[in-house]
Structure 1
Amino acid sequence: MKETLLEAEERAGSGKSVTRKLRMSGMLPAVLYGMEKKPQMLNVNGRDLTRLLHAGGGENVLVDLVVGKANPEKVLVKEVQHHPVTSKIVHIDFLRIDLTKKVTVMVPVHIVGTAEGVKGGGVLEVVSRELEVSCLPMDIPTHIAVDVTALKINDAIHVADLQLGKLEILTDKARTIVTVQPPTVIKEVAPAAEAVEGAVVEGEAAAEPEVITEKKKEKEEEPEKGKKK
């Protein structure tokens, strides 16, 4: 866990209009809380914060935070909020810590190696991209490496399979981290035979309809003879 120095200023106002002006000026809104002390609203320099996170190799960074003219205070970057479209940082939370007490953090999973099953045509599926762990602040890792080299098709690595030394994993032990799925087989469907309208089966002649003509008998009426009086 790397330690870095970051300067901050107390922020008097709050609300969208205030934070919008801050971001336009290159500053970012932040909050500091924990250790049963009153939360403080702060401003930090956006560029300094970005460099700090990159230098720390992730968002679980231990910081010596200097607010105004106060002495440096040991804090942990607890949460970084990003814009949903631009992914730029829009807000940050700092947590006051005691180096002798454990903290709970989310640590990203890094996949290492190429699975044997993938070489045989399988598909690697990462189910859990981060794990919840508990440890002392100085023991927080930048990531958890998971070696998948030995995985064959239908094999998987679960949380219970990991051995992380000083780290206590809080994520469910039965949870799958990564697995190798068998390749997807696409079956070709034979095209249905097209019926040809009006087709005549070979060797069979079309039967002609039989027409029956019925002659009507005409009845001749004999003229009535006049009766003599």
Structure 2
Amino acid sequence: MKTFQLEGKTREIAVTSADQKRALKALRKNNEIPAVLYGGEKVTHLSVSKDAVRGLIYTPEIFVVDLTIDGKVTKVIVKDLQFQPVTDAIMHIDFLEVNENKPVVIEVPVALEGHAEGVKAGGKLTLQMRKLKVKALYSQIPEKLTINVDHLGLGKTMQVGSLHFEGLELMNAKNAVVCAVQLTRAARGAQATAGK
């Protein structure tokens, strides 16, 4: 996994919810995003710059983040993101501290390789799941999960249950379809003509 450098500042939590809302609103107005760091000895409330996280959030790649808070560097992953429903602006980020001997669950992008037999026969290859949820030690998580589709025939699907990656446990439903070769009109026409 690639590493991303990010600077964060600790923030105080207000006693009343009205004060808390006011503080968060002021933080967001100041181009900062409230965040919480879980997984350590204690939960840490912090804020990060909206511009600093742009390269971390708006990308298909996954990262382990070197998060610097008050001079201390902690290895984390992005656990959860909350977006504003209308503007799609980032409202909140949850980070999870990682260590060498505790597995984490993270979504990893899927990449297809090869030329499916069904595509050669006139079908269309579709990717149904762009990411798969995996559980593993963060040091063993690859940047992407590469799936070979050479033997995928016309009208056939590849499900999560048929996949295996060394050192990774797939957390998605076993019967979930990852990719499929769908029949196109041209392929149906060719089949009908061949059947006559």
| Matched letter for residue 40 of structure 1 | T
Correspondence 1:162 to 2:163? yes
1:85 Cα offset (Å): 4.0
Q: Deviations over 1:94-141 (max 9, x none)?
A: 112222221122223233355342343323343333222111111222
Q: Deviations over 1:195-228 (max 9, x none)?
A: xxxxxxxxxxxxxxxxxxxxxxxxxxxxxxxxxx
- Relative to the length of structure 1, the TM-score reads 0.67
Q: In structure 1, what is the Cα distance between the partners aligned to 2:148 and 2:105?
A: 24
| Matched letter for residue 33 of structure 2 | L
1:16 Cα offset (Å): 4.0
Structure having greater relative contact order (Cα 8 Å, sep ≥ 6): 2
Matches within 5 A, 1:53-92: 53=57, 58=61, 60-69=62-71, 71-92=72-93
Q: Deviations over 1:52-88 (max 9, x none)?
A: 456x863x4212222124x212222212233334443
The structure where strand makes up a greater share of residues is 2
Correspondence 1:21 to 2:26? yes
The structure where helix makes up a greater share of residues is 2
Structure 2: any 5+ residue segments left out of the alignment? Answer: 15-19, 190-196
Q: Deviations over 1:118-166 (max 9, x none)?
A: 3433233433332221111112223212233432211221223323112
Q: Give 3-state SS (helix, strand or coil) of 2:165's partner.
A: coil
Q: In structure 2, what is the Cα distance between the partners aligned to 1:157 and 1:45?
A: 41
Correspondence 1:105 to 2:106? yes
RMSD between aligned alpha carbons? Answer: 2.7
- Relative to the length of structure 2, the TM-score reads 0.77
Whether contact under 8 Å (2:100, 2:138) holds in the other structure is yes
Q: In structure 1, what is the Cα distance between the partners aligned to 2:105 and 2:49?
A: 26
Whether contact under 8 Å (2:2, 2:143) holds in the other structure is no
Correspondence 1:43 to 2:47? yes
- 2:94 alignment counterpart: 93
- 1:189 alignment counterpart: none
Q: In structure 2, what is the Cα distance between the partners aligned to 1:77 and 1:160?
A: 26
Q: In structure 2, what is the Cα distance between the partners aligned to 1:75 and 1:126?
A: 29
Q: In structure 2, what is the Cα distance between the partners aligned to 1:109 and 1:87?
A: 24
Q: Give 3-state SS (helix, strand or coil) of 1:99's partner.
A: coil
